[in-house]
């Protein structure tokens, strides 16, 4: 399978899953979910996370609204969130959204909005500078968390992330984490399609 064909398949799958997603709009921002769990609950939790950001940090709320065309909750592999610059999309993992406190979801949205800001000002996201960019995004999470009363646990977890070894974000570690998570999860896709996509990587 050529790279062009693989990309075309990924775009088609992406389009279909978006159309099947349960969604709402918040301040013009599309929020949707495609997952095996309660999609309505997933969307509501993201909406509540955005409300928490707006209540305690209007600046970062406006940044998120301006940075994303969509916040889409669908299966990620080896990550809880990611920013897709070519689609102006923040993507969150449904298991993370359903199992995490609202303030943690909000902190992750702040993190991904910081990625968008760096991309918009021309700071590239490469494996050479990835750990520095990630640490900067984590520091923005901490600034946000310091504004939330009683969020001691969140602040502790963020400070622990700041101590992570740069190798956590290396090409080799990231690739291994993705492949292991992808192989272990059905991701809401048919097994034959998962196998096909996995072999194509």
Query: pLDDT per residue over 134-150, tens digit each?
Result: 999 999 999 999 999 99
Q: Three-class SS of residue 23?
A: strand
The answer, yes or no, to whether residue 188 has pLDDT greater than 60, is: no
Residue 192: per-residue pLDDT: 47
Which residue, among 13, 125, 115, 28, has the nearest Cα to 74 in the 3D structure? 13
**Domains observed in the chain:** 20-184 (3.30.2010.10)
Residue 36, both tokens: 């095996």
Helices marked H in the chain: 3-20, 39-56, 58-67, 94-99, 102-120, 130-145, 152-162, 171-184, 191-200
Mean pLDDT for the stretch of residues 59-78: 94
The answer, yes or no, to whether residue 200 has pLDDT greater than 70, is: no
- pTM for the whole thing? 0.86
Q: Three-class SS of residue 123?
A: coil
Q: Alpha-carbon distance 148 to 142, whole Å? A: 10
Residue 41, both tokens: 């609950």
Q: Alpha-carbon distance 75 to 18, whole Å? A: 12
pLDDT band for position 106 (cuts 50, 70, 90):
very high
Q: Three-class SS of residue 79?
A: coil
Q: Which value, to the nearest 10 degrees, does the dihedral of the CA atoms of residues 178, 184, 187, 188 take?
A: 170
Residue 145, both tokens: 């968390």
Query: pLDDT per residue over 39-52, tens digit each?
Result: 999 999 999 999 99
* 75-89, 91-105, 176-190: range with lowest mean pLDDT: 176-190
Q: Alpha-carbon distance 195 to 199, whole Å? A: 6
Q: Three-class SS of residue 126?
A: coil
Which residue, among 142, 129, 138, has the nearest Cα to 171 in the 3D structure? 129
Residue 194, both tokens: 């998962």
Highest mean pLDDT, choosing among 4-18, 98-112, 160-174, 183-197: 98-112
Which residue, among 161, 151, 141, 146, has the nearest Cα to 60 in the 3D structure? 141
Residue 20: per-residue pLDDT: 86
């Amino acid at each position: 399978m050529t790279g062009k064909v693989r990309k075309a398949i990924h775009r088609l799958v992406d389009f279909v899953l978006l159309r099947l997603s349960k969604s709402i709009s918040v301040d013009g921002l599309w929020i949707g979910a495609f997952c095996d769990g309660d999609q309505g609950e997933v969307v509501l939790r993201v909406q509540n996370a955005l409300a928490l950001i707006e209540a305690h940090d209007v600046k970062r709320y406006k940044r998120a609204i301006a940075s994303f065309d969509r916040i889409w909750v669908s299966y990620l592999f080896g990550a809880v969130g990611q920013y897709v610059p070519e689609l102006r999309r923040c993507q969150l993992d449904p298991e993370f959204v359903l199992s995490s406190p609202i303030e943690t979801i909000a902190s992750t949205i702040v993190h991904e909005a910081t990625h968008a800001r760096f991309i918009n000002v021309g700071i590239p996201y490469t494996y050479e500078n990835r750990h520095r960019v990630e640490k900067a995004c984590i520091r923005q999470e901490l600034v946000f968390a310091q504004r939330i009363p009683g969020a001691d646990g969140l602040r502790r977890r963020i400070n622990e992330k700041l101590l992570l070894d740069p190798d956590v974000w290396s090409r080799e570690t990231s690739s291994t984490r993705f492949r292991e998570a992808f192989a272990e999860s059905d991701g809401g896709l048919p097994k034959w399609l998962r196998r096909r996509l996995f072999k194509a990587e």
